[in-house]
Amino acid sequence: MEIPLHDRIHLRASLAARARTAMLAGAIAVAAALTQATAAAAADVDVEITKFAFAPKEITVTPGTRVAFVNRDETPHSVSATDKSFASKGLDTGERYEHVFDAEGDYAYLCTIHPFMTGVVHVRKR
């Protein structure tokens, strides 16, 4: 049996509406998952300063991560970005310096007291 034209139009419209609802629900689920991932990824990360070196020397974090540099040596050290975007004072034994990396990029840094001590923080979205 042939479906009258106006019923076919109505059927097509209701199918489109159902597809839109499904897509919206999917988008909300994805947004919720992304929010959780961002919150989990923004946890603190520690870089130890030990034996005249940063350990780990190279880290990759997501935007918004707070990185703590902790001096475990008997000697004072500092943490200074080569692009001057951050800089600590001299850190004595046990002292820490924290910096939150908000923008994506590669942040090379060094100890200004011992410039052979270098490290890099890579900030990347997942």
Draw the binding track, 105-124, toward Cu ion (x: CB under 5 A; -: no contact): ------x-xx--x-------
Shortest Å distance, C-beta 86 to Cu ion: 16
Shortest Å distance, C-beta 80 to Cu ion: 10
Shortest Å distance, C-beta 114 to Cu ion: 4
Closest C-alpha to 79, from 122, 45, 113: 113
What distances in angstroms separate CA 101 from CA 36, 75, 82, 83, 85, one per listed residue?
19, 26, 15, 13, 10
Minimum CB distance to Cu ion smaller for 77 or for 99 = 77
Shortest Å distance, C-beta 50 to Cu ion: 11
Q: Are 109 and 119 in contact (CB under 8 A)?
A: yes
Helix (H, G, I), strand (E, B) or coil at 50: strand
Draw the binding track, 41-80, toward Cu ion (x: CB under 5 A; -: no contact): ------------------------------------x---
Cα-based angle 27, 42, 99 (whole degrees, multiple of 5): 145
DSSP letter at 85 equals S
- Residues within the interface to Cu ion (CB under 5 A): 77, 111, 113-114, 117
